[in-house]
Structure 1
Amino acid sequence: MNDFAQSDSPEVQRQLDRLAALSLPQGRFGLETISTLLARLGNPEEQIPPAFHVAGTNGKGSTCAYLRAILEADGLTVHTATKPHLVRYNERIRIVGKLIEDRYLADLLEEVLDISAELAVSFFEVTTAAMFLAFAREHADACVIETGLGGRFDATNIMRHPAAVGIATLGIDHEAFLLRPEEGAPEAPLARIAFEKAGIIKPGVPACTLSYPDDATLEIERAAMAAGAPLHMRGMDWDATSIDVLEYRDRHGALTLPLPQMPGSHQAENAALAIAMLRHQDRVSVSVEAMGRGIRDARWPARLQKLDQGPLTALAGDREVWLDGGHNPDAGRALARHFADQKLHLVLGMLANKDPEAIAGPLAPGTASLQAVPVPGHESHPARAFGRAARAVSSVEVALASLPEDRLPVLIAGSLYLAGEVLKANNEVPD
């Protein structure tokens, strides 16, 4: 997998090749270009169904999955925009719950690329414009939109009137973009991340967040106050606990909901954020029963996903094979919590611009073996980056086939790019 991907459809591939030729002009940050592009297209972002806009370092994709599942459980039709794709570019745009069809996708991309020829647009701006066009032209009751990089200057942030915005977990990632020096921006790393994510807060639009350290909390409070947006933070305006069930509480009352089926203790927090976003807006009505069904039914590939039996997992013998695309320290800590007190074999592929200790470090106490694999199509860390015990192998297939017969689980982790290749090899392409 790469950002531009390949398609079996010649029409889509023709447009993907045009996308691949685009690049973000060095040093350009802002929403001016996407604004100009959308104006040429008739401002479709002003014509979409009520939107739930989600930012965050980790957990935003899962929060979007809960929002979609809950809305659909109540019989509502939902468009969703998530990123990145794992196998097919089509995964970025779902129309009424289904991946956008090749012919429609090709037509949308061609329309956007043709009208933006001299604007020096980026891959993400074209993708976002195509998404807004589709969402405006096809009827639905709601849409769920995930930010890409950051929030403040993310192309999706051109929306002015979402139904609600949400901010998931904050952590340090994409430092070259999100921590670049800027006059007037906070210098402390987590505060700066909060500053960027809080850029999606809009005047009069309910903003729901988790709880954060004081410096990050202050930046979000400042953004909400400056925008005149009602702010609903966990621990202040709403809260949730999870043991045997998810107990959610806010000014509207208390709810007892089932725990998510998606693995990981952090998923209860993501589900609770989705509930908070739905409960603190008034444009889309959802029943409590649908909230429970949606929490149970939500799925999000390559995030602590237990792989099915397939061509790839067959190489690992009689053992569980898990997949996670996380690549930053927060993701590593979440994985360590899930596999606490359990030995496992780690197959790790990480891009060279990521911290090699982000995943390997938190998991080290329970790691029975560590095999480093390349991330196809990308510059990745060699085995020595993960320590003396790490062994270099040529592929995930070789890594799985060489595991000892101890039935310990194996975790393939470190990159969403690698995760896409794994899903494709195991015949588990997202649909």
Structure 2
Amino acid sequence: MNRLVLLFLLLAGGAAYGQQPTGDSLLQDASLPNVIRYAIKNQPRVQQALVDEKITDLQIKSRLADWYPQVNFNYIYQHNFQVQTNIIGGNPVRLGVANTSAFQFGATQTIFNRDVLLANRTRNEVRLQARQQSENTRIDIASDVSKAFYDVLATQQQIRVSDENIVRLERSLRDARAQYDAGVVDKTDYKRATIALNNARALRKSNEEALKAKTEYLKALMNYPETGELKIIYDSATLEQEIPVDTMQGVDYSRRIEYQLLETQRRLQEANVQYNRWSYLPSLSANGAYNLNYLNDQFSKLYNNSFPASYAGLTLAFPIFQGGKRKYNLEQSKWQLKRTDLEITNLKNSVNAEYASALAAYKSALVNYLAVRDNVELAQEVYDVINLQYRSGIKTYLEVITSETDLRTAQINYFNALYQVLSSKIDVQRTKGDLKY
């Protein structure tokens, strides 16, 4: 009976552990800032970067531990089946006993060693490098999540435009059918209305399927529960206020996280050059031991008497010749430093090109946005006038379809332009190093 209860508890615990996270793991207000914060908190890549920071810190502590005294204890027991014999004064003499044992206590203290000296001098830079790697990961996540968020919004707006378009087309179809039944027009008008309505419904279905895929991609970037609902919240007026960005400010390389990483790497390379220079210096350590030795031919009396021995001393190790290894390692570290300098130069060139490209894309998107922003209101006015004239028998239904198409296109172009300029702004901010998370 107890075994059955235990089995039930284990199965219940495993089932609870395997469930998808709910409650606090779901966003109630999925605005862009909240979505970014959620992704940075839950994305495995960010968590891996934080784990790497912890591992780096422990590695540093492990290496710095060599500065502390290293205390060891050894226990030795040896039974000699045949004791060594030597000739002394022409007589054979046994050198030893059948049983030997020892309790050995030893300690060493590093005074100068280039390995621990390097770890001590570079510990802050190594920790800084790990933190910068984490920041770089967070910036990548924030940039990707923001663009995916805008992509979802654009698709949602296309669906909303399709809904409005379907309502208008359904009304137009009813009007065209009524006029046909009244003998005012032929059947061409309501057939065209039917074709347009079918196309609008098909486009809406296509956008709905695209929205599902884009939403799942955004949830994947956020590490959001697959079964959790993600309700995007936005304010069009706020989004429009976020469009401006300072395009007159030049590029400051020091603000780019990639540049900061290379600067940290360069300082570590300089420390590595110094480390290889230290290879020509001797290493110095203090050492000492206290041993309790036990000697007896009979094992039962082995530990009756001890013969202690102790010592303390210094060890100076100086490698005289290693086949040129130290020279080659020093030259290699100098070339690695030179390579890092070249990487910094290459990054500066890349940053300039990236900024110019991102700025050009932003300005182009901004011009397009300003051009299409007023088209929505104009297209709506044109459609309302032509639709009214059609009902009065002044305009043909073909002109109604054309004006309706222009209105739908203007609305879709507006939202696409809005989210495109916002996405382009993210690229500008990133190339300038303004994205900080």
Which has more radius of gyration?
2
The normalised TM-score by structure 1 is 0.19
The normalised TM-score by structure 2 is 0.19
Structure with greater helix percent:
2
> Bigger relative contact order, structure 1 or 2, given CA contacts below 8 A and separation 6+?
2
